[in-house]
Amino acid sequence: MAKVSISANRATDKTIRAIDRKRERERRKMFRTAKDHSEPLAAKLVQRLIDREIIEASSVTKIKQSIVDQLQKLPHLEDFDLQMKIAPIRTLVQDPNIVSLYLTQYVVEDLINHPDILDVFGDDLDVYRAIDSVLRVLRPQ
């Protein structure tokens, strides 16, 4: 009987593919959970951003609705669009929550131009930490 040869490259590739599949499943689950719980997450998130004095807004309900819209469209985003959105801040923290990165970039880049936002304070890391303090519940343990 012939001995089956297992090359190191083949085993390594198999392991890498398994890790990638697991990360992709976790990411899809996070996106679905964010979409399913978008209303309470957005309410808590906007309140946290106001409490930590990251944003100053004239209409909290309109800001909350724009966050809800972002959370609702997360599962439908193309991977390329998502990667392009988070590219400027991808290296902000060691092990980032992708939903927190996406919303951080949304706040810093797009929400700042919302007519009901008076001002956004703090740097990218401050915004990320405030957002992640709410959205870390999405991450699988």
Q: Convert the pLDDT of each residue in 105-140 to its tens digit.
A: 999 999 999 999 999 999 999 999 999 999 999 988
Kindly indicate the confidence band of residue 1, based on its pLDDT and cuts at 50, 70 and 90.
very low
Please compute the mean of the pLDDT values over residues 16-34 and round it to a whole number: 91
8 pLDDT higher than 80: no
In one-letter notation, the amino acid at residue 82 is L
Q: Where are the domains of the chain?
A: 8-138
* Residue-wise pLDDT tens digits, 34-87: 999 999 999 999 999 999 999 999 999 999 999 999 999 999 999 999 999 999
Q: Residue 95: what pLDDT?
A: 87
Confidence (pTM): 0.86
| DSSP assignments along 62-125, one per residue | HHHHHHHHHHHHGGGS-HHHHHHHHGGGTTSSSS--HHHHHHHHIIIIIGGGSTTEEEE-S-HH
